[in-house]
Amino acid sequence: MTEDGMILVDKPAGITSFGVVARVRRQLTQQLGKRAKVGHTGTLDPFATGLMIIVTGKECRNAGNYSKLDKEYEATITLGYNSTTGDPEGELTPVSDLQPTKAAVEAALQYFTGEITQRPPIFSAIKINGRRAYDLARKGEVVEMPERQVTVFALELIDYTYPEIKIRVHVSSGTYIRTLAEDIGKVLQTGAYCSQLRRTKVGEWSVVGATAVQV
């Protein structure tokens, strides 16, 4: 670890992004003998794993440049249920036991390739009138999330064994894979949520060789 630079971290499931930052800060502070300045360039949900770019010292001023980069993910979408959070941490509600054909799944994925409109999940870090959306949602307040235009550059079906769809996706910054999973479930009329998520690339940087963080 260096006082001014970037660190590629492979985040495990079960820890928040802020938890990762805190651990890196603690280790770097011990190494330098003084409090280290550490920041992140984009969060990952607690259930998600994969690449986080951590910036330290003077490089923190460039955090926004990293956050604007394209991202690549591998995700598992589970059909048949909706989740209040769009992921396995929310309350699951059964929707349908309909089992779409592989052709129907492939057609649905094609529908979400290119420039699309998304409404981000209410359980997200987006600020609404200066407050985090997830804080408002947890307090039971009504949250109206504005739609946004995002780009899905590539969406590949890795495997489909009902009820799980496994995909590889390359998206623009600001794209929510949880929302993509839910929208695919709507098109298939089955309901769906993102049950597993791994970020494999941010811009030119890959999770391959990134430093693992222990939970």
Reported as a single tens digit per residue, the pLDDT across 28-61 is 999 989 999 999 898 899 999 999 999 999 999 9
Q: What is the pTM of this model?
A: 0.89
Each residue's pLDDT tens digit, 91-130:
999 999 999 999 999 999 999 999 999 987 655 555 555 6
Q: Is residue 45 among the annotated active site residues? A: yes
- CATH (residue range 71-202): 3.30.2350.10
SS (H, E, C) the chain: CCCCEEEEEEECCCCCHHHHHHHHHHHHHHHHCCCCCEEECCCCCCCCEEEEEEEEHHHHHHHHHHHCCCEEEEEEEEECEEECCCCCCCCEEECCCCCCCHHHHHHHHHHCCEEEEECCCCCCCCEECCEEHHHHHHCCCCCCCCCEEEEEEEEEEEEEECCEEEEEEEECCCCCHHHHHHHHHHHHCCCEEEEEEEEEEECCEECCCCEECCC
**Domain locations along the chain:** 5-68+203-212, 71-202
Say yes or no to pLDDT of 14 above 60: yes
The one catalytic residue among 45, 87, 135, 159:
45
